[in-house]
Homo-oligomer: A and B are copies of this chain.
Amino acid sequence: MFLLNGAKAESLSLQDRGLQYGDGLFETIAVRNHQLEFWQHHMQRLLAGCQRLRIPSPDPGLLLAEARQLLDGADDAVLKLTVTRGQGGRGYRAATISDSNPSRILAVYEEPDYPAENQANGIVARYCDTRLGTSPSLAGIKHLNRLEQVLARSEWQDDAIFEGLMLAAHGRVTEGTMSNLFFVKAGVLHTPNLSNAGVAGIIRDVVLAFAQQQKIPVAIGHYSKTDFAAADEIFICNSLIGVWPVRLLEQQRFSIGSITKQIIAVVNAARLRDAAHEAL
């Protein structure tokens, strides 16, 4: 089910630049217990992305009203929110920001049917061969140019593997195809620097804020496969899964340690109740 600029729709103009160039942004928002989880965070990232791409920012109040209309009291679901620069002619040159008329697309999907044991027992992960391009102007934001993730996700069909880790230039382990990465080494929580590649995830921010609050030492840096192989604990996160420990990465076993367990507990608690949520 879709809302396009506030009206029920099934299709989008073939002139939309979202289709022509991936000229837009999206957010994937968990809907649980009649709440839009971390709505405020998603709006912040979406608006930051609009600013970076010079797309007029949609009104968050309008988006919220439309989300409520579309979800119509749904309990558990996924809300995908896409903003494109809107229609345009052939050619990369875009209308100026004041002449742009963005497209606002809201879509509702069923909650994915992930096994509960993924969080309790950890998942199996692998490394992908597809590299992340280094692109400072696009790093961090959740734009619609996602072919690298599509190619990386197509590298395996084994349903026992839940995530693929992607490397950027210089062999830097940067993110999963659909998640951000953390590892713990000697009591320090490490996560890849995303200034040149990767999406700055909402749950990543939540984890970092919690770590700071709990005085868990944090390092944001550039890490290789060797650094990950030497980790005491590894976990991944995104808005739909929350936090999943990695128990097996390329045949190497990792334990679910105390910091991962602490992070899982606090993220789960925040998913139940947080000031950044919005009720449906």
Contact = CB atoms under 8 A, between A and B. Distances in A.
A101 interface: no
Number of copies: 2
A31 interface: no
Given A11-B13, A13-B10, A138-B133, A23 B92 contact: no
Contact of A14 (B9, B17, B89, B96): B9
Contact of A16 (B19, B23, B93): B19
Contact of A94 (B84, B90, B150): B150
A21 B152 CA distance: 13
Contacts of A112: 91
A78 interface: yes
B150 A23 contact: yes
A188 interface: no
Contacts of A146: 20-23, 92, 145
Contact of A92 (B11, B16, B144, B177): B177
A153 interface: yes
Contacts of A92: 146, 149-150, 152-153, 177-178
Contact of A90 (B4, B22, B28): B28
Report the interface size class on chain A. 35 or more
A259 to B, nearest CB: 29
A26 B92 CA distance: 13
A69 interface: no
A22 B143 CA distance: 10
Contact of A150 (B2, B19, B21, B134): B21
Contacts of A14: 2, 4, 9-12, 105, 107
